Amino acid sequence: MALPVDAQAESAGYAHPERLVSTAWLAEHLGQPGLVVVESDEDVLLYDTGHVPGSVKVDWHTELNDPVTRDYVDGERFAALMRAKGISRDSTVVIYGDRNNWWAAYALWVFTLFGHPDVRLLDGGRAKWAAEGRELTTAVPEPVAADYPVVERDDSRVRAFKDDVLAHLGSPLIDVRSPGEYTGELLHMPDYPQEGAVRGGHVPGARNVPWATAAAEDATFRPLEELRALYEGGAGLSPEDDVVVYCRIGERSSHTWFVLTHLLGYDRVRNYDGSWTEWGNSVRVPIETGSGQ
Amino acid sequence: MSALPAPLEEVVEDFAAVAPRDRLQLLLEMGQELPALPERFASRAGMEQVQECQSPLFLAVEVEQAGPVHLWFDAPAEAPTTRGFAGILRTGLEGASAEQVLAVPDDFYVRLGLAELVSPLRLRGMAAMLARVKGQVRAAS
């Protein structure tokens, strides 16, 4: 009972257009059975100021993380969350959010750990929807509890841990943080949050492609050819590469993971969510500083 | 431990008194009550950006000669959490003396009970705002 693929995303030539919908598509399908719209933002209060009618809020910090194990929720808790949000296993879930869909992409990546079959991003996210003057409401829906099975999380396909990255050294790595964080220079700036890492720099061999360069001015993803130029021309990747992406805690790199996996069609992309907060602090783990490329 | 100025103490108590879910609503309201910027700060002249915030946030502090401190904040509507933090500081510290502002413990925000709702990174934005307010008060005193 999946909803149709957005023809606009299809004509853009992306590898997996079924993972992306335009604002026009969403406006047209809003309210249809089988569709659940999810807002996931960096700013925890934004949903409460107005959201896409009928959408439910998912907060990455309080709802997707396990506060004790520094991990994502398990199958039981994910199922409970889905039921509470009115999402069933065959729902088409469209996720959108603020800041170029940064946190929306992160939520989508977590949904992917549980293999939710049909989960899509709203191209342009919240900013584009609002800029087009489309309806936002403060009315909070009361979802009808849905049936969602307990599915065991599968970390093997799209998630990398520190040991995986150590074993991966010498293979393609993309660091999506700002150039200053990448070179290591930012840790020396006064009055700036140090993000809890004792060393500045990057994973040896990583190429720096700041995550937001994949987004256009209006927060939509850049056209296929521009994305290819960025990651293949610029950073030297090829579609058959085994790639690990990372940032500070794995949120910004989820956005790049989405681009490489669903827009460019790479088969083997893993997000290292331990990212710099873990790598930069780890004993006997090598780093590199400077521009490196 | 130094006492908070009475209005700030009141804000802290309001937050502590309600259930976690309602604290977010309170934070939203604090941001909505943030007054508009006076004309003299148009184009943000003389305002300082708080880089630590996840969204653009500018502030200005005016200190009257041996008198009260006035606080001004500019944060976009798309950043209601940041606006909420600014609202807390504005409501809690507007009209306080320089000494009172400087005496506010840097970690007073811990008492708001927001840690379970708002990520540490976001909360650091609030700490940074207070640090910069104090910096401006010191510079003006």
Tell me how many degrees the CA angle A220-A100-A67 measures, rounded to the nearest 5.
140
To the query of whether residue A247 is one of the catalytic residues in this protein, the response is: yes
Tell me how many degrees the CA angle B19-B125-B131 measures, rounded to the nearest 5.
115
Residue A151 lies in a domain: no
Among residues A132, A149, A175, which one ends one of the domains? A132
Nearest-by-Cβ selection for A43 from B81, B124, B131: B81
Report the pLDDT value the prediction gives residue A191, as an integer from 0 to 100.
47
Q: What percent of chain B has pLDDT over 90?
A: 50
Q: For residue A131, give the chain B residue with the closest CA.
A: B78
Tell me how many degrees the CA angle A55-A57-A62 measures, rounded to the nearest 5.
170
A193 with B128: Cβ contact below 8 A: yes
B77 with A49: Cβ contact below 8 A: yes
Residue A234 lies in a domain: yes
B24 with A61: Cβ contact below 8 A: no
**Would you place residue B110 in the very low, low, confident or very high pLDDT band (cuts 50, 70, 90)?**
confident
Structurally, chain A folds into a number of domains equal to 2
Residue A257 lies in a domain: yes
Nearest-by-Cβ selection for B24 from A45, A127, A193: A45
Report the pLDDT value the prediction gives residue A194, as an integer from 0 to 100.
52
Residue A291 lies in a domain: no
B52 with A45: Cβ contact below 8 A: no
B24 with A48: Cβ contact below 8 A: yes
Q: For residue B53, give the chain A residue with the closest CA.
A: A193
C-alpha–C-alpha distance, residues A96 and A55, integer Å: 10
Q: What is the token pair recorded at A18?
A: 């079924």
Measured in angstroms, the CA of B98 and the nearest CA of chain A are apart by 22
Sign (positive or negative) of CA dihedral B26, B27, B32, B35 = positive
Q: What is the token pair recorded at A233?
A: 């021309």
Contact residues, A window 124-163, toward B, CB-based 8 Å cutoff: 127
Report the pLDDT value the prediction gives residue B54, as an integer from 0 to 100.
58
Report the pLDDT value the prediction gives residue A293, as an integer from 0 to 100.
54
- b/e map B115-134, b = 16+ CB within 10 Å: eebbbebbbbbbbbbbebbb
Among residues A132, A167, A192, which one ends one of the domains? A132
B121 with A48: Cβ contact below 8 A: no
**Would you place residue B65 in the very low, low, confident or very high pLDDT band (cuts 50, 70, 90)?**
confident
Same domain, A60 and A17: yes
Same domain, A23 and A106: yes
Consecutive 10-residue runs of chain A (293 residues): their mean pLDDT?
A: 92 97 98 97 91 96 88 97 98 96 96 98 97 97 95 97 98 93 68 66 96 94 97 96 94 96 98 94 95 71
Quickly count: other Cβ atoms within 10 Å of residue A193's Cβ. 17
Residue A288 lies in a domain: no
CATH of the domain at A18: 3.40.250.10
**Chain B residues whose beta carbon lies within 8 Å of the beta carbon of residue A98:** 78
Report whether B72 contacts B38 (CB < 8 A): yes
What is the architecture, at CATH level 2, of domain B6-35+44-140?
Answer: Alpha-Beta Complex (3.90)
Report the pLDDT value the prediction gives residue A143, as an integer from 0 to 100.
95
Nearest-by-Cβ selection for A45 from B80, B121, B124: B80
Same domain, A101 and A183: no
pLDDT digits (tens, 9 = 90+) for B9-46: 999 999 989 998 899 899 999 999 999 999 998 888 88
Sign (positive or negative) of CA dihedral A113, A253, A227, A105 = positive
DSSP B2-28: PPPPHHHHHHHHHHHHS-HHHHHHHHH
Measured in angstroms, the CA of A45 and the nearest CA of chain B are apart by 6
Kindly list the domain boundaries of chain B, sorted by start residue: 6-35+44-140
**Would you place residue B141 in the very low, low, confident or very high pLDDT band (cuts 50, 70, 90)?**
confident
Cα B140 to the chain's mean position, in Å? 18
Helix H or strand E encompassing B132: helix B120-140
Counts of helices then strands in chain B (DSSP H, E): 5, 3
Question: Could you give the count of Cα atoms lying within 13 Å of A236 in the half-sphere of its Cβ?
Answer: 9
Q: Identify the CA nearest to A49 among candidates B51, B90, B83.
A: B83
Helix H or strand E encompassing A96: strand A92-96
Q: Identify the CA nearest to A255 among candidates A123, A164, A65.
A: A123
Identify from B121, B126, B133, B134 which residue to disrupt to test chain A contact, counting A C-beta atoms within 10 A and taking the largest count. Answer: B121
CB proximity list for A290: less than 8 A, separation 6 or greater: A183, A184, A201
C-alpha–C-alpha distance, residues A56 and B95, integer Å: 40
Helix H or strand E encompassing A269: strand A268-272
CB proximity list for A70: less than 8 A, separation 6 or greater: none
C-alpha–C-alpha distance, residues A247 and A210, integer Å: 9
Q: Catalytic pick from A247, A263, A264, A269?
A: A247
**Chain A residues whose beta carbon lies within 8 Å of the beta carbon of residue B122:** 44
Residue A149 lies in a domain: no
Report the pLDDT value the prediction gives residue A125, as an integer from 0 to 100.
97
Q: Which pTM was predicted?
A: 0.89
C-alpha–C-alpha distance, residues B107 and A131, integer Å: 38
The DSSP letter of residue B103 is: T
The DSSP letter of residue B133 is: H
Same domain, A81 and A170: no
Residue A1 lies in a domain: no
Helix (H, G, I), strand (E, B) or coil at A116: coil
Report the pLDDT value the prediction gives residue A192, as an integer from 0 to 100.
47
Q: Can you tell me the ipTM of this complex? A: 0.77
Domain hosting residue A175, numbered range: 159-280
Identify from A40, A41, A42, A44 which residue to disrupt to test chain B contact, counting B C-beta atoms within 10 A and taking the largest count. Answer: A44
Residue A143 lies in a domain: no
CB pairs under 8 A between A and B: 51
Given CB atoms, is A63 within the 8 Å cutoff of chain B? no
